[in-house]
Structure 1
Amino acid sequence: MEKNEDMVLVIDISSNSVKVGLVSESLNLVHFNSQNINVINEDIDGFAKSFDMEDIWNKLINGVNQVHTKIKNQNTKIIGISTCAQRIASIFLDRKGNVVYGGPNIDIRGIDSAYLIDDEFSEKDLFEITAHSPSLLFCLARLLWFREEEEETYAKISKVLMLDDWLVYKLTGIYVSDFSSAAESQLLDIKRREWSSEIIQTFDFDPDFFPDIVESGTIVSELKPELIKKFNFNQSYIPIVKTGGDTQATLLGMGAIERGDIGISLGTTAPLHLVVDKPIIDPSSNYWTSCHSIKGKWLLEGHAGNTGASYNWFKQCFLSNSGDNPDFLMDTYLKMSQPGALTTYAYLGPENMNIKNQTSIKRGVFAFQPPMMISEELPTIKDFARSVLENIAFGIYENYSALNSYTDLDTRTFCAGGMAKSEEFSKLLANVLDSEISIPFVKDSAFIGVAMNILKALDLYSDYNAMIKDLITYEKIKSNSSISEKYKSIYLEWKNLKNKIDKL
């Protein structure tokens, strides 16, 4: 980074944390702060969950102050601020802008009101409008839940926002959404790119609930003067740029922006997205269609499930007392073991996206050679570790293959996120996919994607392709043809056994 290079401030509320970063004009992540989110269980069954919104805001303020302290004594300007946030999370405000409900992406209280949607729309008809299902996950069902279950709270609702919209409101006082955020509400007409008048009229929602929608990368306002003072910024004007969903920001930051590109986001979960130049509605009503951060681009999504969560669970349960860094151990175990892990197979959740079967309770399973088979070489911890990572890779592979069936182009594959920091896992994934993977130098790609939106909004770059070409560097992970060939048969063995386990 050049001395005194100007910075952009990025705020990201992910599935687990409030993250604040300073990114240079050359797209280097210079300073970073992360604090865990508190999610409140509202019922004994764990269906209804909510954010502690005051806690989120306080952590955001603390995070901004922490990273700003790093540059306070330098002659460095913050030239813009933008935010992104976990998709599906939604916030309802009263007429004074106070939060009456804030719910994370795992709040499924809508399970109790989904029947109201089913009474008005068939699954196919609603999917044809919104390209999202099942209804229990989304903002539409949550609104109906409050109308049915908490009438007094519903009567207070004046604005319906997605989480990133709320961040922009807190920073500016402006109500505005963007297409990447609105598309995850099950209230957007995905083809027309507008709030669905049919849904709004059918359920008699107040149309004023829903804010105007702008393109990602639009300057919507400026940072409130009182926040400039609170953050001790020595500037009177800082523009606020709308970004939107954190997954779309991650795709932008890894460079997956052209038709036929597939981006894999390796976080707590692993959504995969195929970039398309028109909305494709999956005839099976399974794979979602959303709006990209790039105007004129849509995304077809497959989802491998709780990949990072499975990885972290295994580390915590089996490696936390080892005395060594668990991530280092996982990499070491991959180096020490062979593909197939002595026919040790894990079934911990990662699989092909199957939204019609999300409510059934599945058991986690390890299948392996038991000790009584003394003639066989028995698996050890290294093989169980590999089996977890192969389960994750197989789940990604199933979605990757499905998305590839929707394009006749030779796809370019990009990957970023926490697990992309592991070179060994990246090699494993490339071999399972039998594809070269491009991994950006900065794996926390949401920060980079948000920063790119700021640079473009400020006309520092004319287009995203120029930015990617000039500023993003990649490591290319190539597949090994002989290992990829082995994995074809290993995957079939894993899948055949999975089909039997799923019937138990």
Structure 2
Amino acid sequence: MLLGIDVGTGGTRAVLIDRAGKVKASFASEHAGIRSEHIGWAEQEPEDWWRAAREAIAGAMAQTGVTGSEIEAVGLTGQMHGCVMLDADGAVLRPALIWADQRTQPQCDWLTEKIGFERLIELTCNPALPNFTLTKLLWVREHQPEIFAKIAHVLCPKDYVRYRMTGEFAMDMQEASGTLLLDVANRRWSAEVAEAAGIPMSWLPRLFEGPEICARISAAGAGATGLAAGTPVAAGAGDQGAGAVGMGILAPGSVSATIGTSGVVFAATDAPTKDRLGRLHTFCHAAPGRWHVMGVTNGAGLSLRYFRDTFAKESSYDELSARAAEAPAGCNGLMWAPYLFGERTPHLDPEARAAFVGITASHGQPHFVRAVLEGVAFSLQDTFTLFAELGVPVRGIRLGGGGARGPLWRQIQADVYGHPVDLLEAEEGGAFGAALLAGTGVKVWESVEAACAATVRVAETIAPRDADVMKDAYARYRRIYPALREIAGR
């Protein structure tokens, strides 16, 4: 068995697969949630991730009855960009600022002015954004200097869980790409960015490629998880990198559209592809020697969760989706702009705000729910629009995350993208990809490409049905963001 662990935003999932790539067990434990004391703030407790990881591992093992000694290797993935600050003893200094946190725009502006916009993209392939780990460190330095002075180690969420399992400080290239401290083109920490930002290089963990074995389960980790001491642990990848592996997105032209809490359109490339305007992220791939370009919507699945929790608390997601199916494509003009936590692609605007637009007395709950589903798909279509502008090929689209599990949202995506979309047999996304990376690390497969070829299988292809309607609706959607900026006086 191979174990993949996904430390997400809403919870942690553990997946056990066999050497044929068949999922044998899957168990998830929810997190306590996001703490947001002020508009745009988003924090979580690292200890809660560790609690959920232990529960998820135990649950997956219980489903199959396997023992720790029967698990060959472990791989980890999880939400990217989160900033976990530890002291010299490895103790957490404060709650982690996670990917959705938008408070650091002043620090982004300072860093951009200090290094220069073009130089920063040259060094890291990305602009300074509030989502990235480095800008969170700069906020803590300015607002909580007593905590900043105690920092000895900086990790991302899944790397903290690995630290608790193994006692090792490590990070993979793909995850490190989202810190704004990595020289993405050369796959190494950027001493120039770290020096300019005032971040000691000693804080940064050792770097590994995704399938490399970077640690082993410690005696303490074994006691906490039931895994066997000495079990190899692969570096893994951030959620999008591992998810791409789990979906077989490795060759140029292969693209995934994944809707989790956030939404991501991800395209594999053979070389770093830089957007000079910084609207797309260019990261190292989890597969050695490859890169990827991706666009991110902050409030994707989060939009549907927000709607349910605010307006339909007693309803399940399946019930909401069934109601949405009662509304026609295009929702009779009702639209949703999903900017609940600002927006990354293509606007790079942490101050962007969400809105329903075009409400009439004839609109009921089915229209509102469907408008949320369509609005998220429109926001992902923005990335496909940029791909066309930059010459990034799109030969096939595979769906992942919650957006791949409901038939209506799958059809909406095919219609909005105007392209057939594939569903895969394994729907465990990042955790499945993390398990494949672990298997590659212990030579179950000779390469990540071989692992994907042996295990990733298409289950169904969905053709567009209302593409013309969605094309017209998308053109109207593109006018919403400028209007919201004008209303806000910006």
Compute the TM-score of the two structures, normalised by the length of structure 1: 0.88
Q: How many angstroms does 1:225 deviate by?
A: 2.1
Q: Given the alignment of the two structures, is residue 492 of structure 1 paired with residue 475 of structure 2, yes or no?
A: yes
Structure-1 residue corresponding to 2:445: 461
Q: Distance in 2 between matches of 1:73 and 1:203?
A: 47
Q: Given the alignment of the two structures, is residue 191 of structure 1 paired with residue 185 of structure 2, yes or no?
A: yes
Q: Distance in 1 between matches of 2:56 and 2:44?
A: 18
Structure-2 residue corresponding to 1:156: 150
Structure-1 residue corresponding to 2:257: 264
Q: How many angstroms does 1:329 deviate by?
A: 4.2
Q: Is the 8 A contact 2:8 2:78 kept in 1?
A: yes
Structure-1 residue corresponding to 2:460: 476
What is the number of residues matched between the two proteins? 484
- Provide closer, same or farther for how the CA distance between residues 121 and 271 of structure 1 changes in structure 2, counting only shifts above 3 A: same
Q: How many angstroms does 1:185 deviate by?
A: 0.6
Q: Given the alignment of the two structures, is residue 273 of structure 1 paired with residue 266 of structure 2, yes or no?
A: yes
Moved more, 116-125 or 213-222: 116-125
Q: How many angstroms does 1:152 deviate by?
A: 3.0
Amino acid at match of 1:430: A
- Provide closer, same or farther for how the CA distance between residues 388 and 238 of structure 1 changes in structure 2, counting only shifts above 3 A: same
Q: 1:395-427 CA distances to partner (integer Å, 9 max, x unpaired)?
A: 222211212333364521111101210122212
Q: Is the 8 A contact 2:211 2:235 kept in 1?
A: yes
Q: Distance in 2 between matches of 1:326 and 1:187?
A: 38
Q: Distance in 2 between matches of 1:29 and 1:453?
A: 15
Structure-1 residue corresponding to 2:86: 93
Structure-1 residue corresponding to 2:163: 169
Structure-1 residue corresponding to 2:71: 78
SS for the counterpart of 1:279 is coil
Q: How many angstroms does 1:194 deviate by?
A: 1.1
The within-5 A match list for 1:281-292 is 281-292=274-285
Residue from 382, 393, 400 that aligns with 2:377? 393
Q: Given the alignment of the two structures, is residue 253 of structure 1 paired with residue 246 of structure 2, yes or no?
A: yes
- Provide closer, same or farther for how the CA distance between residues 284 and 230 of structure 1 changes in structure 2, counting only shifts above 3 A: closer
SS for the counterpart of 1:244 is coil
Q: How many angstroms does 1:226 deviate by?
A: 3.0
Q: Distance in 1 between matches of 2:469 and 2:129?
A: 40
Amino acid at match of 1:493: R
Structure-2 residue corresponding to 1:375: none
RMSD of equivalent CA atoms:
2.7
Moved more, 68-77 or 184-193: 68-77
Q: How many angstroms does 1:148 deviate by?
A: 3.2
Q: How many angstroms does 1:227 deviate by?
A: 2.6
Structure-1 residue corresponding to 2:336: 346
Q: 1:319-374 CA distances to partner (integer Å, 9 max, x unpaired)?
A: 4446xx4424414532x3332222333334398813432224x2512314x34xxx
Q: 1:25-56 CA distances to partner (integer Å, 9 max, x unpaired)?
A: 232333233223235748x5355554322232
Q: How many angstroms does 1:285 deviate by?
A: 2.0
Q: 1:155-180 CA distances to partner (integer Å, 9 max, x unpaired)?
A: 22222222232222222222222101
The within-5 A match list for 1:363-374 is 363-368=354-359, 370-371=360-361
Q: Given the alignment of the two structures, is residue 120 of structure 1 paired with residue 114 of structure 2, yes or no?
A: yes
- Provide closer, same or farther for how the CA distance between residues 331 and 397 of structure 1 changes in structure 2, counting only shifts above 3 A: farther
SS for the counterpart of 1:78 is coil
Q: Is the 8 A contact 1:418 1:443 kept in 2?
A: no
The within-5 A match list for 1:5-404 is 7-38=1-32, 41=35, 44-46=37-39, 49-72=42-65, 77-101=70-94, 102-233=96-227, 235=228, 237-321=230-314, 325-331=316-322, 333-334=324-325, 336-349=326-339, 353-360=345-352, 362-368=353-359, 370-371=360-361, 378-404=362-388
**Which segments of 5 or more consecutive residues in structure 1 lack a partner in the other structure?**
1-6, 372-377
Q: 1:84-110 CA distances to partner (integer Å, 9 max, x unpaired)?
A: 121001222222222224332233453
Q: Distance in 1 between matches of 2:67 and 2:141?
A: 52
Q: How many angstroms does 1:502 deviate by?
A: 4.6
Q: How many angstroms does 1:458 deviate by?
A: 1.5
Amino acid at match of 1:248: G
Amino acid at match of 1:383: H
Q: Distance in 2 between matches of 1:156 and 1:352?
A: 31
**Which segments of 5 or more consecutive residues in structure 2 lack a partner in the other structure?**
none
- Provide closer, same or farther for how the CA distance between residues 352 and 431 of structure 1 changes in structure 2, counting only shifts above 3 A: farther
SS for the counterpart of 2:398 is strand
Amino acid at match of 2:64: I
Q: Is the 8 A contact 2:281 2:295 kept in 1?
A: yes
Q: How many angstroms does 1:456 deviate by?
A: 1.1
Q: Is the 8 A contact 2:75 2:233 kept in 1?
A: yes
Q: Distance in 2 between matches of 1:332 and 1:109?
A: 36
Q: Is the 8 A contact 2:334 2:357 kept in 1?
A: yes
Q: Distance in 2 between matches of 1:120 and 1:27?
A: 48
Q: Distance in 1 between matches of 2:100 and 2:284?
A: 21
Amino acid at match of 2:470: Y
Moved more, 294-303 or 51-60: 51-60
Q: 1:449-495 CA distances to partner (integer Å, 9 max, x unpaired)?
A: 011101111211123333333322213333246x2233222322343
Q: Is the 8 A contact 1:427 1:477 kept in 2?
A: no
Moved more, 242-251 or 118-127: 118-127
Q: How many angstroms does 1:290 deviate by?
A: 1.0
Q: How many angstroms does 1:258 deviate by?
A: 0.7
Q: How many angstroms does 1:284 deviate by?
A: 1.3
- Provide closer, same or farther for how the CA distance between residues 423 and 219 of structure 1 changes in structure 2, counting only shifts above 3 A: same
Q: Given the alignment of the two structures, is residue 442 of structure 1 paired with residue 395 of structure 2, yes or no?
A: no
SS for the counterpart of 2:277 is coil
Q: How many angstroms does 1:439 deviate by?
A: 1.5
Q: Is the 8 A contact 1:15 1:105 kept in 2?
A: no
Q: 1:154-211 CA distances to partner (integer Å, 9 max, x unpaired)?
A: 2222222222322222222222221011111111112222111111222443222222
Q: Distance in 2 between matches of 1:55 and 1:380?
A: 38
Amino acid at match of 2:100: I
- Provide closer, same or farther for how the CA distance between residues 129 and 59 of structure 1 changes in structure 2, counting only shifts above 3 A: same
SS for the counterpart of 2:114 is coil
The one of the two structures with greater contact order (alpha-carbon pairs below 8 A, sep at least 6) is: 2
Q: Is the 8 A contact 1:95 1:157 kept in 2?
A: yes
Q: Is the 8 A contact 1:260 1:407 kept in 2?
A: no
Compute the TM-score of the two structures, normalised by the length of structure 2: 0.90
Q: Distance in 2 between matches of 1:358 and 1:73?
A: 46
Moved more, 252-261 or 120-129: 120-129
- Structure 1 or 2, whichever has the larger Rg, is 1
Q: Is the 8 A contact 1:219 1:241 kept in 2?
A: yes
Moved more, 289-298 or 222-231: 222-231
